[in-house]
Structure 1
């Protein structure tokens, strides 16, 4: 175990902080949108899932309204209803253990504005799931699904431009020099990075899509990549033995970001830089736009129905999935309130599985917050140091900064960026392609 002295945890108890404003303003708006959606669509949900679902909407709305009141009046967290029979990803016991551990450590129950930001925000989504799970007809209903699907449909122009590019590159791979291949691969990592700006939890569930061809902006955006380990990443990829080119991809958002991630993986597969891919989605509605397995499969099917390059590329994805080169792996750990330094204790099987990968790619802010413990690290803290006890295998974080810790900057770099853009670490305009090889 590493000897790491911890800075304070990011907390909504600090009035005026981004964590405080998230719990005070953004989370209630997300809850209100879910409540309004269920009330507005209760009749159509009744037609789709049965009359009991229409009545069930009232129960769910009541539970969510109660939680919203608890949040806004800084009440104690509640234990989750447990167990959840027939739910293979029931994590209520883990949540309740975390609650008991908090009480044991601090002598009081966690409250919305006293617990850590990470704990409070994750807990809200656990309670949304619980409210739906307790209503039998809506047990598997995703209140964010419509928004996620609309986000992809509204990004159609950008998706077509991206799949055209993938198709063009893949058809000419045999004629590319290694340097040309490097340029293509690293550009697709940048596309995957900027795809992370499309995050419905940051827009409080408001509309968010990729409106234009991201390739046309890469040159201009490159100076906004404040940690860019692309060259080290390339050296790692080309140095992997042929029988050890297994990548694990811990997904973030559905919609355009998911498309950009799958396009990146297609380039790596077709170039032989990756021979197998394990995709890790979430197992329940999470942070509004996080990708579930059904979102992933819907995305593949949606693109397959298109003519042109989109249909061709999605057919390739379908083939990867059917022949086992791509695997989808679900784990309930991703929807707990724990950071990744706790993974080896809470979910040793998942930690062991990830440790067998040649490289783990973590997409997005929440993964980054969990990688770094959501602590107030100085920005020039070494990335490896901030990872604490999470050291499974070489890992890459790809995120635009929309809140939470930022580490691995040069001394004075954050001050320089702040002089240009005061909100640089919360507005998503600055990105990180950050590698840790533990060597």
Structure 2
């Protein structure tokens, strides 16, 4: 088993580094050091930060090795320096950042080869290696957001995703009332906010079978949705008015047609794709306009994991096996969401599709700890963000690495945030007579 764990950790680290290389090698040094938006770091900061986190956790903490570059720890401390100020820091230049990350990785592979995989919380089942692979994949997603924000011609290419169909697919499914197990106490690489497993009991509700499409969202826009305060949380309406927001980010109207900019390419808005780059406020407003609501985080997870027939929660909607290209659109394999109705092989027991991949899905819930939560291995990953300021997103987008995608994985962000790869689906309460259907 130890050899299998080492191989799994090696594969996760290798996949993440290959993706990082794709994101930084496709642009020149000027693009790497530029700040393409005050919302994001220069790409070269992310590159060296990835190496620095790996050094601190896997070389120093796990491996007990001497520090390579302790003098840069402060420079690459995400909590010490907000993104807007990072270009003014004494950052490693691109060639040095690449060399540093590669040097760290070479030494980490030696640690991986010799360290025991049991006996200590950080190394049990290779947790620390999985944590760092997830950290790198999360920064890869962040860097992909930076690529979307940069101007100029396309630097990244990828094939189109498979085309789905909603033929014969109901628009919503009834999720029956009853208890289910939320979170996990057994997933070896689950992060602290996913733990511990606990029982939740929910009333019945209806959930969209697919995410809300661009075509659906265009109907909301055409009906004056952005100008009608009835649909908006007060702070959300104030925000869209202050910033003159009248469409998802990266959309614009030209000659009677809605277009979007996607990684340097301008194209017609595809009506059959999940809507993307909308804030929680926009998602919430659409749901109200449609006479529905956003699902709670618990409702989302029950829909994605609960297997009524087996009486247990799955790792993924389709079962316990790791995701493949037949299950979900993940890992930057495609640079866009697949059309709604795609990936029937990834459907949940109730037939809900695209719960994993394509777009992060906003939920109605604040980011809060589970009962019995314990911060591990550091407070700054989750605990400092708990409260009503952040909303939970679930499911993962096309930009999420599979190592950082699970039915229990929790993402969170500010409700005004729009540059992230976020969309949503809607829900509604079940009537009293429907609860046992």
TM-score range, shorter chain: under 0.3
TM-score by length of 2: 0.27
Structure that is richer in helix per residue: 1
